[in-house]
Amino acid sequence: MKKQTTATRIATIGIMSALATGLMFLEFPIFPAVNFLKYDPSDILALLAGFIFGIPDAILVLIIKDLLFYILKSGDIVGILMNFAAGFFFIVPTILVYRIRKNRATEILGYVVGVLVTTGVMLVLNMIVVPFYWKIPFAEVVKFLPWIAAFNAIKFSIDSIVNALVRGRIEKIFE
Ligand code: RBF
């Protein structure tokens, strides 16, 4: 991949953040039991930015789309922070593992590690946050843990598959 000019980079990050914000509006719950967890494909744009430009730019896309979505629609700071955390703990390990060799095998291993890391971290974060958010005892939250794990595993597996399919074509644009 050729080195990007700063102008190309900034313009692309802007476009990706805008697209990601739009995609966030498509959010929908996967499991009725945990309908506060909503799938949206916006993290794919941040992951693409991570593959093309690097981890700081992926985080920038996450911050911009979450900030815009918070202002434009959600107004729920807890949900936005959890969305950010989930994206962060998926994208950072995925890119770090991919970088070991930058081939298809490390890419796929990256997705697997990313899905496992974010599923584990989000289980812990939900155990801490949900009792306060829903004002329910910790014992109640334990019942939701399998749903929370399944939600994150499915969400980020979908993102991985879509990213694996489109990444090559998108990166060609920047060659
Ligand atoms: N999003 C995730 O991708 N994974 C999570 O584990 C997760 N946990 C959440 C827990 C709570 C209490 C809330 C309010 C939101 C959570 N979210 C999570 C974010 C949610 O799916 C959605 O993206 C945001 O609420 C924005 O509408």
pLDDT in tens, 6-22: 998 999 999 999 999 99
Contacts of 97 (CB under 8 A, 6+ apart): 106, 109, 110, 113, 114
End-to-end CA gap in the chain: 6
Answer whether 129 contacts ligand 1 (Cβ < 6 A): yes
Return the pLDDT at 2: 56
Return the pLDDT at 114: 98
- Report the nearest-CA residue for atom 11 of ligand 1: 79
Return the pLDDT at 5: 86
Q: Where are the beta strands (DSSP E) in 37-118?
A: 38-39
Helices (runs of H) and strands (runs of E) counted in the chain:
6, 2
Instruction: Give, in order, the Cα–Cα distances in Å from 170 to each of 16, 82, 164.
Output: 12, 28, 11
Answer whether 27 contacts ligand 1 (Cβ < 6 A): yes
Structure tokens at 128: 């801490």
Mean pLDDT of 46-66: 97
Partner residues linked to 39 by β-bridges: 28
Query: How many angstroms separate the alpha carbon of residue 172 from the centre of ligand 1?
Result: 33
Q: DSSP states of 103-144 as a string?
A: SHHHHHHHHHHHHHHHHHHHHHHHHHHHHHHTT--HHHHHHH
Dihedral of the alpha carbons of 55, 57, 59, 64, in degrees to the nearest 10: -170
- Report the nearest-CA residue for atom 6 of ligand 1: 122
Global pTM reads 0.96
Q: Cα–Cα distance between 73 and 66 in angstroms, integer?
A: 10
Q: What single-letter DSSP state applies at residue 42? A: T
Query: How many angstroms separate the alpha carbon of residue 106 from the centre of ligand 1?
Result: 28
- Report the nearest-CA residue for atom 23 of ligand 1: 83
Mean pLDDT of the chain: 96
Residue spans of the domains in the chain: they are 6-173
Q: Cα–Cα distance between 133 and 150 in angstroms, integer?
A: 20
Answer whether 130 contacts ligand 1 (Cβ < 6 A): yes
Q: Give 6-173's CATH code, choosing from 3.40.720.10, 1.10.1760.20, 3.30.420.10, 1.20.120.430.
A: 1.10.1760.20
Quickly state the pLDDT bin for 81 (edges 50, 70, 90): very high
